[in-house]
Amino acid sequence: MPARLIINADDFGLTRGVNRAIAELHRAGSLTSATLMATGAAFDDAVALARVNPALGVGCHVTLTDGSPVSPPQSIPTLLGADGKTFRPSLVDFVQALLRGKISEAEIEREALAQVKKLHAAGVKVTHLDTHKHTHLFPAVTRPLLRVADRCSINAIRNPFEATWSLALGHGNRLRRLQVNLLGSFKSAFARQAQIRDGCVLTTDGTIGISATGHLDAASLRELLIALPAEGTFELCCHPGYNDEDLDRVTTRLRTHRDVERDSLLTELPARSLQPNAPQLINYGGLVA
């Protein structure tokens, strides 16, 4: 049995240009899955595209930093920034507060549940959960997300840790590789969560492309696909889009590189599919099956 690969685009719903790129890539056979931001400015447009592309797996991209929550602000005070209305804009601030015990797991669960319910109310069948900026690699976020998965009968979650062989390729800058490597210390805690350990909530053998975020060009994508093991199930995490005026209006560090990733996926995935032992492309629904 060949390796299985989920090609998932984050930030579905961020802008109409991001949504358009995701739909185009899926129709071209270069993308199997996307995770939808309940808080995204182009949420309704993403839902409409998901409806006319039923083979595209759609997960919930649970957002706990940047932007406004779905829940009433007064119900999740520990998740909010100084204005008391929006999330902390800085990932560093979020992580510091989390590690100091300043963020309530119950409030994380409340907000994640509200985001999932928004997708359900829009008619989206949620295939899996992941988080904006991979915040669920921390156990204090993993635990409430898994409780939401139980409550909502969601059977899969992203493995937020980069596969060892992928990290060894040396993609991305040195600082990001160091950060990804250090955060790998939480991997065993993730695997020990009861729902994951017992197979109630499924995950992959690892995610690839995390350290390459912002640097995932055609050459690095080609190396990842060539290095993919002959067996196992992996997710390729990517952020394609169009760098347009809508993107200028939102908070994101990925701008011009969204065009690079879109073009790279369009060329490299079809080329790899023609090679011997090409991976089987699935979405998270296929993982559960």
pLDDT in tens, 180-238: 888 889 999 999 999 999 999 999 999 999 999 989 999 999 999 999 999 999 999 99
DSSP 160: -
pLDDT of residue 10: 97
pLDDT in tens, 39-58: 999 999 999 999 999 999 99
Coil, helix or strand for 263?
A: helix
pLDDT in tens, 64-102: 999 999 999 999 999 999 999 999 999 999 999 999 999
Alpha carbons within 13 A on the beta-carbon side of 73: 11
- Domains located in the chain, CATH noted: 4-288 (3.20.20.370)
pLDDT of residue 109: 98
Alpha carbons within 13 A on the beta-carbon side of 268: 21
| Single-letter amino acid code for the residue at 44 | D
Res. 274: pLDDT tops 70? no
Q: What is the mean pLDDT of the chain?
A: 94
- For residue 132, give the nearest of 109, 107, 158 by alpha carbon: 158
* Structure tokens belonging to residue 127: 């295939």
Q: What distance in Å separates the CA atoms of residue 4 and residue 232, rounded to the nearest whole number?
A: 6
- For residue 213, give the nearest of 160, 266, 250 by alpha carbon: 160
Whole-model pTM: value is 0.95
pLDDT of residue 49: 98
The residue ranges of DSSP E strands in the chain, in sequence order, are 4-12, 33-36, 57-62, 126-131, 207-208, 233-238, 280-282
